[in-house]
Structure 1
Amino acid sequence: MPTQPVLVYDGDCAFCTTSVTFLVRRLRPKCTVVPWQFADLDALGVTRRRAEYELLWITPGTTVYGGAQAVAKLLSKAGGAWAWLGAALTLPPVRWIAHGVYRLVAGNRHRLPGGSPACALPADRRPGVRPAG
Protein backbone atom coordinates (compact mmCIF):
# COMPACT_ATOMS: atom_id res chain seq x y z
CA MET A 1 0.00 0.00 0.00
CA PRO A 2 1.44 3.42 -0.90
CA THR A 3 2.48 5.77 1.91
CA GLN A 4 1.80 8.90 -0.13
CA PRO A 5 -0.63 9.69 -2.96
CA VAL A 6 0.08 8.20 -6.39
CA LEU A 7 -0.56 10.04 -9.67
CA VAL A 8 -1.13 7.56 -12.50
CA TYR A 9 -1.09 8.71 -16.13
CA ASP A 10 -0.82 7.30 -19.65
CA GLY A 11 2.90 6.95 -20.34
CA ASP A 12 2.28 5.99 -23.98
CA CYS A 13 0.69 9.36 -24.71
CA ALA A 14 3.19 12.13 -25.41
CA PHE A 15 0.64 14.83 -24.56
CA CYS A 16 -0.13 13.21 -21.19
CA THR A 17 3.54 12.64 -20.41
CA THR A 18 4.49 16.21 -21.32
CA SER A 19 1.58 17.64 -19.31
CA VAL A 20 2.30 15.58 -16.20
CA THR A 21 6.05 16.28 -16.39
CA PHE A 22 5.37 20.02 -16.68
CA LEU A 23 2.90 20.05 -13.78
CA VAL A 24 5.09 17.98 -11.48
CA ARG A 25 8.16 20.08 -12.21
CA ARG A 26 6.29 23.36 -11.62
CA LEU A 27 4.07 22.32 -8.71
CA ARG A 28 6.30 19.83 -6.90
CA PRO A 29 3.40 17.96 -5.30
CA LYS A 30 4.14 15.42 -2.59
CA CYS A 31 3.20 12.28 -4.48
CA THR A 32 4.58 9.38 -6.49
CA VAL A 33 4.13 9.79 -10.25
CA VAL A 34 3.98 6.68 -12.42
CA PRO A 35 2.71 5.74 -15.90
CA TRP A 36 -0.06 3.17 -15.61
CA GLN A 37 1.98 0.87 -17.83
CA PHE A 38 4.52 0.49 -14.98
CA ALA A 39 2.15 0.71 -12.02
CA ASP A 40 0.91 -2.20 -9.94
CA LEU A 41 -2.72 -1.40 -10.72
CA ASP A 42 -4.08 -4.27 -8.62
CA ALA A 43 -2.24 -3.03 -5.53
CA LEU A 44 -3.54 0.49 -6.22
CA GLY A 45 -7.10 -0.77 -6.53
CA VAL A 46 -7.74 0.34 -10.12
CA THR A 47 -8.42 -1.47 -13.35
CA ARG A 48 -6.38 -1.13 -16.50
CA ARG A 49 -9.49 0.11 -18.28
CA ARG A 50 -9.87 3.01 -15.85
CA ALA A 51 -6.15 3.84 -16.00
CA GLU A 52 -6.37 3.98 -19.81
CA TYR A 53 -9.39 6.28 -19.59
CA GLU A 54 -8.21 9.06 -17.27
CA LEU A 55 -5.56 10.55 -15.02
CA LEU A 56 -5.81 9.01 -11.55
CA TRP A 57 -4.97 10.29 -8.07
CA ILE A 58 -4.87 7.48 -5.52
CA THR A 59 -4.63 8.22 -1.81
CA PRO A 60 -2.73 6.00 0.64
CA GLY A 61 -6.12 4.63 1.74
CA THR A 62 -6.68 3.75 -1.97
CA THR A 63 -9.45 6.26 -2.57
CA VAL A 64 -9.32 6.89 -6.31
CA TYR A 65 -10.05 10.24 -7.97
CA GLY A 66 -10.14 10.42 -11.75
CA GLY A 67 -9.99 13.06 -14.46
CA ALA A 68 -10.60 16.64 -13.37
CA GLN A 69 -10.87 15.59 -9.72
CA ALA A 70 -7.41 13.99 -9.96
CA VAL A 71 -6.13 17.33 -11.27
CA ALA A 72 -7.86 19.06 -8.34
CA LYS A 73 -6.12 16.73 -5.86
CA LEU A 74 -2.76 17.31 -7.57
CA LEU A 75 -3.20 21.07 -7.31
CA SER A 76 -4.35 20.82 -3.69
CA LYS A 77 -1.30 18.77 -2.75
CA ALA A 78 0.97 21.39 -4.36
CA GLY A 79 -0.02 23.93 -1.70
CA GLY A 80 -0.05 27.71 -1.87
CA ALA A 81 -2.25 29.39 -4.46
CA TRP A 82 -2.48 26.09 -6.35
CA ALA A 83 -4.37 24.60 -3.41
CA TRP A 84 -7.02 27.29 -3.77
CA LEU A 85 -7.46 26.41 -7.43
CA GLY A 86 -7.62 22.71 -6.56
CA ALA A 87 -10.30 23.40 -3.96
CA ALA A 88 -12.30 25.46 -6.46
CA LEU A 89 -12.26 22.55 -8.91
CA THR A 90 -14.13 20.41 -6.37
CA LEU A 91 -17.08 22.79 -5.97
CA PRO A 92 -20.22 22.78 -8.12
CA PRO A 93 -20.64 24.24 -10.73
CA VAL A 94 -16.86 24.59 -11.28
CA ARG A 95 -16.52 20.81 -10.82
CA TRP A 96 -19.02 20.16 -13.60
CA ILE A 97 -17.29 22.56 -15.97
CA ALA A 98 -13.88 21.09 -15.12
CA HIS A 99 -15.20 17.59 -15.85
CA GLY A 100 -16.47 18.69 -19.27
CA VAL A 101 -13.22 20.44 -20.13
CA TYR A 102 -11.20 17.41 -18.98
CA ARG A 103 -13.28 15.03 -21.13
CA LEU A 104 -12.94 17.38 -24.12
CA VAL A 105 -9.15 17.54 -23.75
CA ALA A 106 -8.82 13.80 -23.05
CA GLY A 107 -10.97 12.92 -26.04
CA ASN A 108 -8.88 15.09 -28.33
CA ARG A 109 -5.39 14.60 -26.88
CA HIS A 110 -4.18 13.05 -30.13
CA ARG A 111 -4.85 16.42 -31.82
CA LEU A 112 -3.06 18.52 -29.20
CA PRO A 113 0.64 19.51 -29.20
CA GLY A 114 2.72 16.50 -28.26
CA GLY A 115 -0.14 14.14 -29.02
CA SER A 116 0.02 11.48 -31.69
CA PRO A 117 -2.56 9.41 -33.57
CA ALA A 118 -1.69 6.51 -31.22
CA CYS A 119 -3.25 8.48 -28.34
CA ALA A 120 -6.64 7.97 -29.98
CA LEU A 121 -6.27 4.17 -29.96
CA PRO A 122 -7.04 1.86 -27.06
CA ALA A 123 -3.78 1.03 -25.28
CA ASP A 124 -3.62 -2.56 -26.58
CA ARG A 125 -3.86 -1.36 -30.21
CA ARG A 126 -1.06 1.22 -30.03
CA PRO A 127 2.05 0.57 -32.09
CA GLY A 128 4.75 -1.28 -30.15
CA VAL A 129 2.47 -2.26 -27.26
CA ARG A 130 2.35 -5.91 -26.33
CA PRO A 131 -1.06 -7.42 -25.63
CA ALA A 132 -1.87 -8.01 -21.96
CA GLY A 133 -1.77 -11.51 -20.62
Structure 2
Amino acid sequence: MRTRPVLVFDGDCGFCTTSVTFIERRLRPCCEIVPWQFADLAALGVTPERAGHEVLWVTPAGTVYGGAQAVAKVLLSAGGGWAPLGALLTLPPLRWAAHGLYRVVARNRHRMPGGTAACAVPARREQHATRAM
Protein backbone atom coordinates (compact mmCIF):
# COMPACT_ATOMS: atom_id res chain seq x y z
CA MET A 1 0.00 0.00 0.00
CA ARG A 2 1.20 3.50 -0.87
CA THR A 3 1.83 5.93 1.94
CA ARG A 4 2.26 9.05 -0.23
CA PRO A 5 0.16 10.53 -3.02
CA VAL A 6 1.36 10.08 -6.60
CA LEU A 7 1.45 12.84 -9.21
CA VAL A 8 1.13 11.29 -12.67
CA PHE A 9 2.02 13.35 -15.74
CA ASP A 10 2.73 12.90 -19.46
CA GLY A 11 6.46 12.19 -19.70
CA ASP A 12 6.37 12.51 -23.50
CA CYS A 13 5.25 16.13 -23.29
CA GLY A 14 8.01 18.72 -23.02
CA PHE A 15 5.70 21.30 -21.46
CA CYS A 16 4.47 18.80 -18.86
CA THR A 17 8.01 17.70 -18.05
CA THR A 18 9.17 21.31 -17.72
CA SER A 19 6.22 22.05 -15.43
CA VAL A 20 6.93 19.03 -13.23
CA THR A 21 10.62 19.97 -13.02
CA PHE A 22 9.57 23.42 -11.79
CA ILE A 23 7.19 21.83 -9.27
CA GLU A 24 9.91 19.50 -7.96
CA ARG A 25 12.49 22.28 -7.59
CA ARG A 26 10.36 25.18 -6.38
CA LEU A 27 7.27 23.75 -4.70
CA ARG A 28 8.64 20.47 -3.35
CA PRO A 29 5.28 18.76 -2.84
CA CYS A 30 5.03 15.77 -0.54
CA CYS A 31 4.35 13.12 -3.19
CA GLU A 32 5.89 10.71 -5.64
CA ILE A 33 6.09 12.06 -9.20
CA VAL A 34 6.03 9.65 -12.12
CA PRO A 35 5.40 9.86 -15.87
CA TRP A 36 2.32 7.83 -16.76
CA GLN A 37 4.38 5.92 -19.31
CA PHE A 38 6.36 4.37 -16.41
CA ALA A 39 3.59 4.17 -13.82
CA ASP A 40 1.66 1.06 -12.84
CA LEU A 41 -1.60 2.61 -13.95
CA ALA A 42 -3.69 -0.43 -13.05
CA ALA A 43 -2.41 -0.30 -9.46
CA LEU A 44 -3.24 3.41 -9.37
CA GLY A 45 -6.74 2.80 -10.73
CA VAL A 46 -6.14 4.94 -13.81
CA THR A 47 -6.54 4.25 -17.53
CA PRO A 48 -3.87 5.20 -20.07
CA GLU A 49 -6.50 7.38 -21.80
CA ARG A 50 -7.12 9.44 -18.68
CA ALA A 51 -3.42 9.67 -17.84
CA GLY A 52 -2.71 10.97 -21.35
CA HIS A 53 -5.54 13.49 -21.05
CA GLU A 54 -4.64 15.27 -17.81
CA VAL A 55 -2.25 15.41 -14.87
CA LEU A 56 -3.45 13.18 -12.04
CA TRP A 57 -3.09 13.18 -8.26
CA VAL A 58 -3.74 9.76 -6.72
CA THR A 59 -4.12 9.60 -2.95
CA PRO A 60 -2.81 6.65 -0.93
CA ALA A 61 -6.45 5.54 -0.51
CA GLY A 62 -6.87 5.51 -4.32
CA THR A 63 -8.93 8.67 -4.87
CA VAL A 64 -7.98 10.22 -8.22
CA TYR A 65 -8.08 13.96 -8.89
CA GLY A 66 -7.45 15.20 -12.41
CA GLY A 67 -6.57 18.41 -14.17
CA ALA A 68 -6.94 21.61 -12.17
CA GLN A 69 -7.92 19.70 -9.03
CA ALA A 70 -4.69 17.69 -9.26
CA VAL A 71 -2.81 20.99 -9.51
CA ALA A 72 -4.70 22.23 -6.42
CA LYS A 73 -3.62 19.09 -4.54
CA VAL A 74 0.01 19.68 -5.55
CA LEU A 75 -0.18 23.24 -4.22
CA LEU A 76 -1.81 22.10 -0.98
CA SER A 77 0.85 19.43 -0.55
CA ALA A 78 3.64 21.95 -1.12
CA GLY A 79 2.50 23.94 1.90
CA GLY A 80 3.83 27.39 2.70
CA GLY A 81 2.48 30.17 0.52
CA TRP A 82 1.32 27.66 -2.10
CA ALA A 83 -1.29 25.99 0.13
CA PRO A 84 -3.74 28.94 0.26
CA LEU A 85 -3.68 29.12 -3.54
CA GLY A 86 -4.38 25.38 -3.71
CA ALA A 87 -7.25 25.79 -1.27
CA LEU A 88 -8.76 28.60 -3.34
CA LEU A 89 -8.64 26.41 -6.46
CA THR A 90 -10.92 23.89 -4.76
CA LEU A 91 -13.69 26.42 -4.15
CA PRO A 92 -16.38 27.46 -6.63
CA PRO A 93 -16.29 29.65 -8.70
CA LEU A 94 -12.48 29.58 -8.79
CA ARG A 95 -12.60 25.78 -9.22
CA TRP A 96 -14.71 26.21 -12.34
CA ALA A 97 -12.41 28.89 -13.75
CA ALA A 98 -9.35 26.76 -12.99
CA HIS A 99 -10.93 23.81 -14.80
CA GLY A 100 -11.58 25.94 -17.88
CA LEU A 101 -8.08 27.40 -17.84
CA TYR A 102 -6.56 23.93 -17.37
CA ARG A 103 -8.50 22.60 -20.40
CA VAL A 104 -7.29 25.52 -22.57
CA VAL A 105 -3.66 24.92 -21.53
CA ALA A 106 -4.00 21.14 -22.00
CA ARG A 107 -5.42 21.57 -25.51
CA ASN A 108 -2.60 23.96 -26.41
CA ARG A 109 0.32 22.45 -24.50
CA HIS A 110 2.18 21.81 -27.75
CA ARG A 111 2.26 25.61 -28.20
CA MET A 112 3.48 26.33 -24.67
CA PRO A 113 7.15 26.89 -23.72
CA GLY A 114 8.94 23.55 -23.90
CA GLY A 115 6.09 22.01 -25.88
CA THR A 116 6.51 20.09 -29.12
CA ALA A 117 4.18 18.45 -31.63
CA ALA A 118 4.43 15.28 -29.50
CA CYS A 119 2.68 17.22 -26.69
CA ALA A 120 -0.53 17.70 -28.63
CA VAL A 121 -3.54 15.81 -27.32
CA PRO A 122 -5.18 14.23 -30.37
CA ALA A 123 -8.63 15.71 -30.98
CA ARG A 124 -10.37 12.32 -30.85
CA ARG A 125 -8.81 11.47 -27.49
CA GLU A 126 -9.68 14.93 -26.13
CA GLN A 127 -13.34 14.58 -27.18
CA HIS A 128 -13.59 11.03 -25.77
CA ALA A 129 -12.07 12.04 -22.43
CA THR A 130 -14.34 15.08 -22.16
CA ARG A 131 -17.43 12.92 -22.71
CA ALA A 132 -16.23 10.50 -20.03
CA MET A 133 -16.08 13.26 -17.38
Q: Is the TM-score greater than 0.5?
A: yes
Provide Cα deviations, 1:12-70, integer angstroms capped at 9, x if missing partner: 00000000110121011110000000000000010000000000000000100000000
For 2:73 and 2:108, the matched residues in 1 are separated by: 23
C-alpha RMSD of matched pairs (Å): 0.8
In the other structure, the counterpart of 1:31 is 31
In the other structure, the counterpart of 1:64 is 64
In the other structure, the counterpart of 2:84 is 84
Which runs of 4 or more aligned residues in structure 1 lie more than 2 Å from their structure 2 counterparts after TM superposition?
none
Secondary structure of 1:60's aligned partner: coil
In the other structure, the counterpart of 1:109 is 109
For 2:105 and 2:92, the matched residues in 1 are separated by: 20
Tell me the number of residue pairs that the alignment of Structure 1 and Structure 2 aligns.
122
TM-score relative to the length of structure 2: 0.89
Structure 1 segments unaligned to the other structure (5+ residues): 123-133
For 1:29 and 1:111, the matched residues in 2 are separated by: 26
TM-score relative to the length of structure 1: 0.89
Secondary structure of 2:16's aligned partner: helix
**What residue identity is the alignment partner of 2:91?**
L
